[in-house]
Chains A and B, each alone.
Chain A
Amino acid sequence: MFRASGRAGREEYQERLSLQRDEGKFAQGKIGLLQYVTVGVFLFLVGGYWNLQIRNEDVYSLKAERNRIKSFPIPAARGKILDRDGRVIVDNHSSFSVLLSRENLQEEHLAPIAEGLNLDYEELVARLNRFRKRPKYQALILKQELTPAEIAFVESHRDPDTFPELELIHTERRVYPGNGFAAHMLGYVGEISESELNQPEFVKNQPGDLVGKTGLERQYNDILTGEDGQRQVLVNNKGEERRVLGFKAAVPGESIQLTIDLDLQTVAELAMEGKRGAVVALDPRNGEVLALTSRPSYDLSKLASRDRGAEWREITTNPEKPLLNRAIQAQLAPGSTFKPFVALSALESGEVDENTSFGCGGGFNFFGRYFHCHKKSGHGGTSLKKALAQSCDVYFYQVGNRIGIDQIAKWAEIAGFGKKTGIDLPAEASGTLPSTKWKIRALRERWYGGDTISVSIGQGYLTATPIQLAHGMGGLVMGGVWHTPHLRKGDAPQKAARKAEIDLTHVRTIMDGVCDVVNGGGTAGRSRLPNGEFCGKTGTAQIASNEYQKAKGIRLKDNAWFVAFAPRVNPEIVVSVLWEEGEHGPDAALIARDVVKAYLDKRARKQYSQGAGEGVQVKLEQPAGLSSGERTAEND
C-alpha cells in the first residue's frame, strides 16, 4: 500500500508545513466561504424535506393513495316490481355499460371514443363539463346497454396503451312492459341529474347513477335502489392491476310487491286503448289499488333507453299530454258521479229523507235562471233513489238549494274531495271542492245560490280526480270508512283510514239508488251484469259551459264518467272511469263493467277451485258488513 517515505526529515517537513501555512492563509477565507455555502445548501435541503415530509405528509400520502388505488363500481340491480300475486311487472336484464375514468382521461381520446361508442361528441363534452366539479376519481357511466359491437370496441381498446380511461362493467338493465302498460304508475329510471344530486333524497347517489324519475320508481326509489359494490385494485403507473385490495359485492335493491292485479290492470289497459282518460280500481275494504291506468301512454323502455331524446320530444310536445297521469292528476268536473255524495249530504243533514220527493218538469227556475235537466221531458215526481237511478238533475238542484253548498262541501270533504287521497305516487293533484269560504279565499267573491245549483250535479267550480272518485265511493259503500289508496302491498293502510259517523240506512239508500242505475232501469242499463252485482253511477260532464261554447262557436264533447262498485252487498271493488270526450257516461260504464266482471270472474274461479279441493259448494259470500234489514241480491 502507501509506503511512508523515510527520506524526508523532520525539519524538512516543518519547513514545508510553514510554507503550506502561508499558502493556507491565501486560501483560508475562501475555504471558509465554501464551508458556509455548504452549510447553507444543507439547511435549505433539510428545510425543503421537512416541509414535504412532515408538514405536508398528509397531502402527499393522500395523493400517493389516489395514485395507486383504483376502485371500480359494481352497480347494484334495482329491485323488481311485482303484482299482488307475485307476478313480475318490471324486471331486469343483464347488460354491459362502459365507464369513463375521469382521472385517466386524455382529452384527445374523447373524439375516437365517442365515435367508437356511437355517442354524440358535443353531448359527451357537455356531460363531462357538468361533472367537472365532482371529484375526479368518480367514474362516469358513458353508455349503458352496449351492443355487441360496442362491447367489442371497449374490450379491444381499454388496454393501457390505447384508451386506459375505459372500463367495461356489467349492469342490470330495467325491462318494462310494452305498449305503454301502466307506464304512469310504474314510472321510469334515468341518469341522476345534477340538481337531483344536491337533494338530500339522493345523498347516497353519484353521478351516472340511475334513479327513479317518476311513478313508483321514484316513490320507492329508496327501496328499489340497492347498494353498489366496488372492487378496489392496486394498479401500477400503467393502470395495470397488480392486486385486488378489496371486493364488496353489490346488494341488489329490494323488490316491491304491489296491490295491483295484473289481470285487472290488463283489462283496464285494453279497455282504454285508443281513448283518453283513466281507470282506477281499488278494494274499498283496505284501500288497495287493483288497477290504475292512464291514457294516452308512452313506452317506458324508450324513456329509459339511450334514444330518449327523440321519444322525450315526441311526448312533451304531444297535445294529448301523454305525460299526465290522468288517474291522479286530471282535475275535471265529475258530473253526475258526484250525486251520491250530494245525496249523502242531503240525508245526513236531515233536510231530506228516503221518501222526500221533488217534481221534475225538465228544468228548474232559480231566480229567473233556468237550469235544465238532462231529460227535457222531465222525470215527474222523483224520490232520492229514482233521482240517483235516473240521474235527475232537477231533484239535485232542489236538494242543493235546500241544504246549501257548505253542507255539500262538509260531506264531500269527508269523502275525500278537494284534497289529495295520499296514494303512494308522486305529484297527485287535489282537485277543487268549492264552498263559501273557498270562493272568498280563492276568487275573492261571495257565494251565489246559482253556484250551489251547478255543484249539486257535479259541475261548476267542482273538480275531482278519478282516484278521488273511486276513493270517495269506496268509503261511502264501506259505510263511512275511507282507506288511503295505496299501491304497495302491506303498507299498513288501516292506520290511515278515516271514519265518519254515518247512518247506515242512508248508505243503503244511496247504494240502492246507485245499483238501480245499472240494474233498475237507470241510465246504465246496458252494462248490467247477469247476476246484478255490478252497480255504479254515470256522469256526463261538460268541459265548458254552453254559453262559453256558443260564444266561441265550438262544440266540445262531454267527458264520460262512471264510478262503480261490486258486489252490491259488501263491495270488494270500486272502479272509477274517466273517458275524456267520451260523451256518454253509460259508455264509460261499459269499461268499468269489464274490470268488475274480470274481478268477479277471477274471484269465482278461485272459489271454485278452492271449493273443488275442499268438496264445498260454490256460493257467493253472504252479506256480513252491514246490519240487518238489508237487501240481498236475491230479493232485489
Chain B
Amino acid sequence: MTESRGLRDVDWTMLLIALLLAGIGILQIYSATQSEEGSSLWWKQLIFVGAGLLVFWVISHFDYHSFLGQAPYLYVVFTVILFGLMIFSRVVLGAKRWISLGGGMKLQPSEFMKIVLVLFMARFLADLKTESLDNVDLMKLMGIVFMPFVLVNLQPDLGTSLCYLPVLAVGLLLAGMNRQQAVVLLLIVMLVLPVGWFVLKDYQRARLTSFLDPAQDPQGSGYQVLQSKIAVGSGGMWGAGVTRGMQIQLQFLPFAHTDFIFAAFAEEHGFIGVVTVLGLYFLLLMQILQNAQTAPDRAGTAICMGVAGILLFHVLENVGMVAGLMPVAGIPLPLMSYGGSNILSVFIMLGLVNNVRLRRFLL
C-alpha cells in the first residue's frame, strides 16, 4: 500500500468548488423551505455536508488500489442488496429505494452502486491486457453495468439506473472499443429501445414525452415541467432574490428542494446565478478531468473519468430537465439537491478523485 504525499497535494480547488456548491445548495434549501413551519432541512443538509467531508477524508486516506481490490466483492454485495430491494418493492406497492439505518437515516444503495461500478470498471480496465477491446470483454463490461441497471430499473427507479450508463460509456471509451463494435452496439440499442419503451410504466413514458410538450397535460405529467419552466423563466437576468421566488414560496413548484432545486435557484438568482453555478460545475468537472490526466495509471484515469462522466450526466439531466431541455427523470443535482445519499455519494466520488491525485507520483 502506498502512501499519499500530504496535505498540500489535496485537490483544494476541487474541494473548494464542491463546498461552494454545497453551500449554495444549503442556502437554496433554506430559501425553498423557510415558509414551511419547523423546517430544518437546511440544517440537516449541513450535517450531511459535514459527514461528506469526513467521508472525503477517509476515502482519500486509503490507497485507491485497495478499493480496486475490494471492488468485485462490493459489486456482489450491492447487487444482492439491490436484488433484495427489487423483490421487496415487488411485494410492497410502489418504489422501495431506501434502506433504513435507524434514527431517521436512510440510504439509497442504488446511489452507491454508481461508485462500486466506477471502481469495478476501473479494475476491469486495469486487468485488460490488450490495447483494444475484444468482443468477449465487451460483453463482460456490458454485463457488469446492465445487471444493476435492470435491477434498479425494476425498483422502479429509471433515473438512478440511467446514471450507470455514463460509467459504461466511459469504460467502453477507455477500453478502446473500435468503430465496428460501436456500430453494432448502436444497432442493438436501437432494436432494444422500442422493447424498453413497453417495459416502462405509463407514468414513466408520460414523463419522458411530456417534456416535449408540457402544455399537453398541464395538470398531470406536464405540471412539474411547466411550473419549473415558469420559475426559471420568470427569474430573468437577476432573479427575484433570496426567499422571494414566488413560484417556490407559494409551492407551485414541487420538489423545490430536492430534484428541482435548480429551478428554485434559477428563479431567485436569475441567469447570472445560473451561469455562476454552471461555471462552478464546469470548473469542478475540468478539475476532475485534469486529475484524470495526471493519474498514475489506467485505473486512476478510469476512476476520474468515471466520476466525471457520472457528474456530467447528473448536471446535464437535472439542469436540463428543470428548463424543459431534457425529459424528467428523478436525478438529483450533485451537491445541491437535498439528501444524504446524494451528498455522501458525491463526496465519496470526489474523495476517490482526490485519492488518485494524491498518488499521482506514486505507483
Taking Cβ atoms with an 8 Å cutoff, the residues of A that contact B are: 1-5, 8, 13, 16-17, 19-20, 23-24, 26-28, 30-31, 33-35, 37-39, 41-42, 44-46, 48-50, 52-54, 56-57, 59-61, 63-64, 67-68, 106, 234-238, 242
Given A16-B362, A17-B361, are A2 and B60 also a contact pair (CB < 8 Å)?
Answer: yes
Taking Cβ atoms with an 8 Å cutoff, the residues of B that contact A are: 2-7, 9-10, 57, 60-61, 131, 170, 173-174, 219, 227, 229-237, 246-247, 250-252, 266, 270-271, 274-275, 278, 281-282, 285-286, 289, 292-298, 301, 305, 308-309, 312, 315-316, 319-320, 323-325, 358, 360-363
Contact A237 B251 (CB under 8 A): yes
Contact A20 B251 (CB under 8 A): no
Contact B237 A53 (CB under 8 A): yes
Contact A31 B301 (CB under 8 A): yes
| Complex interface: chain B residues within 8 A of A13 (CB) | 361-362
Contact A63 B234 (CB under 8 A): yes
| Complex interface: chain A residues within 8 A of B297 (CB) | 19-20, 23
Contact B301 A60 (CB under 8 A): no
Contact A42 B282 (CB under 8 A): yes
Contact A4 B6 (CB under 8 A): yes
Please tell me which one of the listed residues B10, B252, B274 contacts residue A67 in the complex, with CB atoms under 8 A apart. B252
Contact B316 A5 (CB under 8 A): no
Q: Shortest distance in angstroms between A7's beta carbon and chain B's nearest beta carbon? A: 8
Given A2-B6, A2-B7, A60-B230, are A41 and B247 also a contact pair (CB < 8 Å)?
Answer: no
Please tell me which one of the listed residues B6, B174, B236, B360 contacts residue A53 in the complex, with CB atoms under 8 A apart. B236
Chain A's closest residue to B245 (CB) is: A64
Q: Shortest distance in angstroms between A136's beta carbon and chain B's nearest beta carbon? A: 11
* Sample of 16 more A-B contacts, CB < 8 Å, known A5-B4, A49-B323: A1-B57, A2-B4, A2-B7, A2-B9, A20-B363, A23-B295, A27-B298, A28-B293, A30-B305, A37-B312, A45-B320, A46-B274, A50-B271, A52-B323, A60-B229, A67-B250
Please tell me which one of the listed residues B5, B320, B360 contacts residue A2 in the complex, with CB atoms under 8 A apart. B5
Please tell me which one of the listed residues A17, A46, A61 contacts residue B278 in the complex, with CB atoms under 8 A apart. A46
A-B contact pairs, 5 of them (CB 8 A): A3-B6, A30-B174, A34-B308, A53-B270, A63-B234
| Complex interface: chain A residues within 8 A of B270 (CB) | 53
Contact A236 B252 (CB under 8 A): yes
Chain A's closest residue to B235 (CB) is: A53
Given A2-B7, A57-B234, A61-B236, are A35 and B286 also a contact pair (CB < 8 Å)?
Answer: yes
Please tell me which one of the listed residues A1, A16, A20, A30 contacts residue B6 in the complex, with CB atoms under 8 A apart. A1
Given A2-B9, A64-B246, are A41 and B325 also a contact pair (CB < 8 Å)?
Answer: no
Contact B301 A23 (CB under 8 A): yes
> Looking at chain A's contact residues, is the secondary structure mostly helix, strand, loop, or mixed?
helix
Among A5, A44, A234, A235, the most chain B Cβ lie within 10 Å of the Cβ of: A5
| Complex interface: chain B residues within 8 A of A236 (CB) | 250-252
Contact B362 A34 (CB under 8 A): no
Q: Shortest distance in angstroms between B44's beta carbon and chain A's nearest beta carbon? A: 24
| Complex interface: chain B residues within 8 A of A34 (CB) | 170, 173, 289, 292, 305, 308-309, 312
Q: How far, in angstroms, from A106 to B308 measured CA to CA in the complex?
A: 46
> Looking at chain B's contact residues, is the secondary structure mostly helix, strand, loop, or mixed?
helix
| Complex interface: chain A residues within 8 A of B266 (CB) | 49, 53
Please tell me which one of the listed residues A16, A30, A235 contacts residue B363 in the complex, with CB atoms under 8 A apart. A16
| Complex interface: chain B residues within 8 A of A59 (CB) | 233
Closest 7 CB pairs between A and B?
A60-B233, A4-B6, A64-B234, A2-B4, A5-B3, A53-B271, A57-B236
| Complex interface: chain B residues within 8 A of A17 (CB) | 361
Q: Shortest distance in angstroms between B252's beta carbon and chain A's nearest beta carbon? A: 5
Given A5-B3, A31-B292, A34-B308, are A63 and B230 also a contact pair (CB < 8 Å)?
Answer: yes
Q: Shortest distance in angstroms between B336's beta carbon and chain A's nearest beta carbon? A: 14
Q: How far, in angstroms, from A39 to B282 measured CA to CA in the complex?
A: 8
Given A1-B7, A24-B293, A33-B173, are A45 and B325 also a contact pair (CB < 8 Å)?
Answer: yes
Q: How far, in angstroms, from A446 to B176 measured CA to CA in the complex?
A: 111
| Complex interface: chain B residues within 8 A of A52 (CB) | 229, 232-233, 323-324
Q: Shortest distance in angstroms between A234's beta carbon and chain B's nearest beta carbon? A: 7
Please tell me which one of the listed residues B2, B271, B320 contacts residue A5 in the complex, with CB atoms under 8 A apart. B2
Q: Shortest distance in angstroms between B305's beta carbon and chain A's nearest beta carbon? A: 6
| Complex interface: chain B residues within 8 A of A4 (CB) | 3-6
Chain B's closest residue to A30 (CB) is: B173
Please tell me which one of the listed residues A38, A53, A54 contacts residue B308 in the complex, with CB atoms under 8 A apart. A38
Q: Shortest distance in angstroms between B178's beta carbon and chain A's nearest beta carbon? A: 14
Chain B's closest residue to A41 (CB) is: B316
Q: How far, in angstroms, from A161 to B270 measured CA to CA in the complex?
A: 34
Contact B363 A242 (CB under 8 A): no
| Complex interface: chain A residues within 8 A of B229 (CB) | 52, 60
Given A3-B6, A64-B231, A64-B246, are A38 and B286 also a contact pair (CB < 8 Å)?
Answer: yes
Contact A31 B305 (CB under 8 A): yes
Contact A23 B252 (CB under 8 A): no
Among A3, A27, A49, A64, the most chain B Cβ lie within 10 Å of the Cβ of: A49
Given A16-B296, A23-B297, are A38 and B312 also a contact pair (CB < 8 Å)?
Answer: yes
Contact B271 A49 (CB under 8 A): yes
Q: How far, in angstroms, from A27 to B289 measured CA to CA in the complex?
A: 11
Q: How far, in angstroms, from A42 to B316 measured CA to CA in the complex?
A: 8
Q: How far, in angstroms, from A535 to B10 measured CA to CA in the complex?
A: 119
| Complex interface: chain B residues within 8 A of A61 (CB) | 233-234, 236
Q: How far, in angstroms, from A49 to B281 measured CA to CA in the complex?
A: 15
| Complex interface: chain A residues within 8 A of B274 (CB) | 46, 49, 53
Q: Shortest distance in angstroms between B360's beta carbon and chain A's nearest beta carbon? A: 7
Q: Shortest distance in angstroms between A587's beta carbon and chain B's nearest beta carbon? A: 71
| Complex interface: chain B residues within 8 A of A27 (CB) | 174, 292-293, 295, 298, 301, 305
| Complex interface: chain A residues within 8 A of B278 (CB) | 42, 45-46, 49
Please tell me which one of the listed residues A20, A42, A242 contacts residue B296 in the complex, with CB atoms under 8 A apart. A20
Chain B's closest residue to A67 (CB) is: B252
Q: How far, in angstroms, from A23 to B319 measured CA to CA in the complex?
A: 34
Chain A's closest residue to B170 (CB) is: A34
| Complex interface: chain B residues within 8 A of A68 (CB) | 246-247, 250, 252
Contact A41 B315 (CB under 8 A): yes
Chain A's closest residue to B285 (CB) is: A38
| Complex interface: chain B residues within 8 A of A54 (CB) | 236-237, 271
Contact B250 A242 (CB under 8 A): yes
| Complex interface: chain A residues within 8 A of B252 (CB) | 67-68, 236-237
| Complex interface: chain B residues within 8 A of A23 (CB) | 295-298, 301
| Complex interface: chain A residues within 8 A of B293 (CB) | 24, 27-28, 31
Q: How far, in angstroms, from A57 to B361 measured CA to CA in the complex?
A: 51
Among B236, B286, B308, B309, the most chain A Cβ lie within 10 Å of the Cβ of: B236
Q: How far, in angstroms, from A33 to B9 measured CA to CA in the complex?
A: 26
Chain B's closest residue to A35 (CB) is: B289
Q: Shortest distance in angstroms between A121's beta carbon and chain B's nearest beta carbon? A: 22
Please tell me which one of the listed residues A20, A35, A64, A237 contacts residue B295 in the complex, with CB atoms under 8 A apart. A20
Chain B's closest residue to A16 (CB) is: B363
Please tell me which one of the listed residues A2, A20, A46, A53 contacts residue B232 in the complex, with CB atoms under 8 A apart. A53
